[in-house]
Structure 1
Amino acid sequence: MIRRAAFLLLALSLSALPVAAFAQSKNPVFENVDYEVLDNPGTFDKVGKGEIEVAEVFAYTCHHCHDLAPKLEAWRAKLPKNVKVRYLPAGYDLDDTFSRGFFASQQIGALGKTHAATFRALHDERVLPRNPSDAELTAYYATLGVDAKKFAAALTGPKVAQRMKAAREFSLRIGLEGTPTLIVDGKYRVLGRSLDDQLRIAGALIANPPR
């Protein structure tokens, strides 16, 4: 009886191994399937010790970026404090009004008023042209309560020009192929089959970085 009980216990233990292994890899991610390792790693902005940057490279004119925006905000709200989500216009065109408008808004502390509103204005309300002039974007942001003089000054200022150059260099370094693109910890480009899948993969890379 003792031998039989020991055998049954061993059998049960072995049968439980696949289940346990599956539980430990509930949301597995695989290189070249779910993510790619960057040839030239590096974060967009400086990160502190123990911090992880998640950079979303986007374009306001991109419909998929418009769809991802609310999902990303909800996902961001649940992340640990050491994870820093940073929005980053693709920046290929150094004169792009929308990209410069993003950095100008960020510089004067108005991004909370302009970021989501710009997506809505383009894709839902359609009150902004796809290639606005500086004056058109300034006038629209003024309707959101943004100080027009401060915004206009920042839009053509040296700090925004520097950020645009940095954004362009980052996009080139990661081999940007389209938007939206998520870069985790300056090392991993998220792939994914849907917007939700991209967030799942990014979460898994944050929780269990590949070694």
Structure 2
Amino acid sequence: MVSPKIIRILAAAALAATAFFSPASHAQGTQQYVPINPPLPSDTPGKVEVLEFFAYTCPHCAAIEPLVEDWVKTAPPDVVLKQIPIAFNAGMKPLQQLYYTLLALDRPDLHAKVFTAIHGEHKRLFDKKAMGDWVASQGVDRAKFDSVFDSFSVQTQVQRASQLADAYRIEGTPSFAVGGKFMTSPVMAGNSYEGALKEVDRLIPMARN
């Protein structure tokens, strides 16, 4: 098994050579965020929502995941992180379903392992059968997985994720929306995963106001 640290190193090398945020971001020059105008409403009233738009196929999302896991442990109590899987084409929809199925089965611990399986172990987890085989190997009941994967609840969450991606005009991953008011990304934060999360921390007080 390839460790998340190695994935992070490999993806960091690619990061400098890859532009994966929207062209509008680059037009901002050295600005490390863009305002969202008009601001978008939160699904969690009374909290500052931080939305991380990600895709399991994205090596940068795989690289930043351990950092996100550490970041959320020290986030302020009025901040809630929501990870939003997005699909740039119809073929990516099963990966959205996989994320919400893992949550529904109370196996969020497998989220990071999906990245490792795809990017570190080169497993082709791109359809329901392959995903089902893999989660079964992780101790998940296969029948429960199959049932939840196609459930109305999961389909509704996938639809909501796609609506959010459209509303925020997401063109690349990972991207972070803060409080419905600001957007940042590693590219905007100086091609730095750590820089992106530091920028999120800086934007949280601004989003409260």
Q: For the structure 1 residues 36 and 83, does the alpha-carbon distance in structure 2 shift closer, same or farther, using more than 3 Å as the test?
A: same
Number of corresponding residues: 175
Q: Is the 8 A contact 2:48 2:207 kept in 1?
A: no
SS in 2 for 1:57: strand
Q: For the structure 1 residues 98 and 170, does the alpha-carbon distance in structure 2 shift closer, same or farther, using more than 3 Å as the test?
A: same
Distance 1:115 1:53 in 2: 20
Alignment of 1:101 with 2:92, yes or no, is: no
Q: Is the 8 A contact 1:183 1:189 kept in 2?
A: yes
Q: For the structure 1 residues 76 and 210, does the alpha-carbon distance in structure 2 shift closer, same or farther, using more than 3 Å as the test?
A: closer
Distance 2:106 2:73 in 1: 19
Alignment of 1:129 with 2:124, yes or no, is: yes
**2:199 corresponds to:** 201
Q: Which runs of 4+ in 1 moved over 3 A?
A: 91-95, 207-211
- Indicate which of 154, 157, 162 corresponds to 1:160: 154
Q: TM-score, normalization: structure 1?
A: 0.77
Q: Is the 8 A contact 2:178 2:207 kept in 1?
A: no
- Indicate which of 31, 34, 38 corresponds to 2:32: 34
Distance 1:203 1:155 in 2: 34
**1:55 corresponds to:** 51
Q: TM-score, normalization: structure 2?
A: 0.78
Identity over aligned pairs, percent: 25
- Indicate which of 175, 181, 187 corresponds to 1:187: 181
**2:137 corresponds to:** 143
Distance 1:209 1:187 in 2: 6
Q: Is the 8 A contact 1:58 1:181 kept in 2?
A: yes
Distance 1:143 1:48 in 2: 38
**1:74 counterpart letter in structure 2:** D
Q: Is the 8 A contact 1:42 1:186 kept in 2?
A: yes
Distance 2:176 2:55 in 1: 13
Q: CA deviation at 1:210?
A: 7.8
Q: Is the 8 A contact 2:181 2:207 kept in 1?
A: no
Note the alpha carbon deviations across 1:144-190, whole angstroms, 9 max, x for none.
11221111111111111111111111111111120000011111101
Note the alpha carbon deviations across 1:84-141, whole angstroms, 9 max, x for none.
11111013445621111001111221122x2010000011122x215x2201101101
**1:161 counterpart letter in structure 2:** Q
**1:73 corresponds to:** 69
SS in 2 for 1:203: helix
Distance 1:100 1:148 in 2: 15
**2:171 counterpart letter in structure 1:** E
Distance 1:69 1:54 in 2: 14
> Where does structure 2 lack aligned partners over 5 or more consecutive residues?
1-27
Q: Decide which structure has the larger Cα Rg and report it.
A: 1
Q: For the structure 1 residues 73 and 181, does the alpha-carbon distance in structure 2 shift closer, same or farther, using more than 3 Å as the test?
A: same
> Where does structure 1 lack aligned partners over 5 or more consecutive residues?
1-31
